[in-house]
Amino acid sequence: MLLLFAATSCSKYVDTPLPKNELVSGLVFKDDKAATAAVTGVYSNMYSFNYQFANILMNYLTAMQADEMYYFSSFANYDVFRENRLLPSSQYVQSLFADMYSYIYQMNACIEGLSAANTLTPAVKKQLLGESYFMRAFFYFYLVNMYGDVPLITGTDYQVNGVKPRAPRAEVYDTMISNLKTAVQLLEDSYPTAQRIRPNRAVANGLLARVYLYNQQWDLAEATASLVINNNAYTLPADLNTVFLATSKEALWQIQPLNVSGGRNTWEGFTSTPATATGTAVFRLDATLVAAYEPGDLRLARWTDFRTPGSGPVYYFPYKYKIRSAAAGITEYSMVMRLAEQYLIRAEARIQQNKLDEGRGDLNAIRKRAGLGDLSASLDKAALLLAVEKERRLELFAEWGHRWFDLKRTKRSDAVLGPLKGANWQSTDTLYPIPSDAMRTNINLTQNPGYN
């Protein structure tokens, strides 16, 4: 097991091999416990430390790139995101790329090992394969939306992987869809644990619905999101303060905090919540986001907090996760996917198909939970699509890059971010540069426009 984790966690981009001897393969995939550890180790790796792909980097750096958040002081590694001045050598541009390919390599090794295993309990093998296919698609979703065309690595042959060129976005999406369909078939409706910390069938369908939406396959996005929405295991709780708890009924998939010394819960809460009632918040919400909330919107009241400094204007900060540290133990888990997104996916997909009443109904379900009234029945298709954009921004802020990706996929980045970012903004800023380290180690990689 140590050899497996060392090989995957220390791999440099896509060119470090997993040891191919029978001893390692036999140890890892010989019994249920070891095989489960091999697959679930990726969840631990994703969240063991702060400023990793699965916490601050995806939730907050992408929010700074868009119009959601800023860092209160000058810090070069953050400023390049807020000011859209990324370089191929930027630290987090490189680490995000490296981390996700490391995780993909681990999933590829697990798929190969599990497929060849013949001593596992059939139900365990099926679950683990389903998780592995899901996770591979999950990482590719973020890679392709951040970097555009990327190498499509589906095996562990490092000699092949190390010279792979970038695959077209459409090919990567086709692979994601195929992997997610496989995961849906392999996974069960029930979770393999008492908590929602490992994917089940609803999680796979949830990501599949999102992929269909991004691919503009409106009918499939609607139908797949409906499978999740109609599952009575998930509800939109009336109390917004319960959404991000470990016991959340809205959660599809959460990550369980592991590094909990000193009563720490999530990394998001530890990082963004001030240490005292009058303390300074380091991550602050953009004034345009705060102003976008309608009077009486409970999301502003429940999911943000504010400070009134001695000098300067009042500022708001994210407060979805409320615990910096607490003696009471772990009560908040980090949210990866939740039911509200599925309503918003279905709303957009329905409106795009001219099912305006049905789409408006899905938006109203989200608004009702936020304490707001129904949208006007007179809104046309264009107005309803803008309403979708607004509700996604207000509901999903600082969660997994949704706003950044939404503006890009709907081709609204120039219109929204151009005036806000000013001279720093270029249309090519919607993609990250391919990291310089990756370009040096793989001669077949090409750079994104705007970064040559």
- Mean pLDDT in residue range 320-338: 93
Cβ atoms of 352 and 222 closer than 8 Å: no
pLDDT value at position 4? 46
pLDDT value at position 6? 37
Give the 3-state secondary structure of residue 334.
Answer: strand
Candidates 266, 257, 243, 304; CA nearest to 63 is 304
Question: Which is more confident, 338 or 10?
Answer: 338
Burial of 282 (0-12, 13-18, 19+ CB in 10 A): middle
E-strand spans in 174-307?
251-255, 283-285, 304-307
10 pLDDT more than 80: no
Please, which residues bridge with residue 254 across strands? 335
pLDDT-derived band at 327, boundaries 50, 70, 90: confident
Cβ atoms of 272 and 318 closer than 8 Å: yes
- The mean pLDDT of the chain is 92
pLDDT tens string 268-315: 999 999 999 889 999 999 999 999 999 999 999 999 999 998 888 999
pLDDT value at position 64? 95
CB atoms within 10 A of CB 416: 18
Residue with tokens 């910390």: 197
Domain 1-187+411-446 is found in CATH 1.25.40.390:
yes
Q: Which tokens is 190 given?
A: 């029930």
pLDDT-derived band at 51, boundaries 50, 70, 90: confident
pLDDT value at position 26? 55
Q: Which tokens is 285 given?
A: 């919400």
Q: How far is CA 391 from CA 286, 312, 326, 367, 385, in A?
A: 16, 29, 32, 8, 10
pLDDT-derived band at 150, boundaries 50, 70, 90: very high
Q: Which tokens is 277 given?
A: 């009632």
pLDDT tens string 175-189: 999 999 999 999 999
Q: What's the DSSP call for residue 87? A: -
pLDDT-derived band at 328, boundaries 50, 70, 90: confident
Q: Which tokens is 160 given?
A: 């092949």
pLDDT value at position 48? 85
Longest Cα separation, the chain? 68
Residue 216 φ/ψ region, left for φ over 0, alpha for ψ in the -120 to 50 degree band, beta for the rest: left
110 pLDDT more than 90: yes
pLDDT value at position 162? 93
Query: How far is 287 from 313, CA to CA, in rounded Å?
Result: 10
Cβ atoms of 303 and 393 closer than 8 Å: no
Name the residue type at position 299: R
pLDDT value at position 311? 82
Give percent of the chain with pLDDT exceeding 90.
85
- Please spell the DSSP secondary structure of 339-384, one letter per residue: HHHHHHHHHHHHHHTT-HHHHHHHHHHHHHHTT-PPPPTT--HHHH
Q: What's the DSSP call for residue 58? A: I
18 pLDDT more than 70: no
SS3 string, 119-173, reads CCCHHHHHHHHHHHHHHHHHHHHHHHHHHCCECCCCCCCHHHHCCCCCECHHHHH
pLDDT tens string 396-449: 999 999 999 999 999 999 999 999 999 989 999 999 999 999 999 999 999 999
Which residue ranges make up each domain of the chain? 1-187+411-446
Candidates 431, 424, 423, 426; CA nearest to 448 is 431
Sign for the CA dihedral angle at 197, 61, 321, 225 comes to negative
pLDDT value at position 312? 81
pLDDT-derived band at 3, boundaries 50, 70, 90: very low
**Residue 83: CB partners within 8 Å, gap ≥ 6?**
421, 424
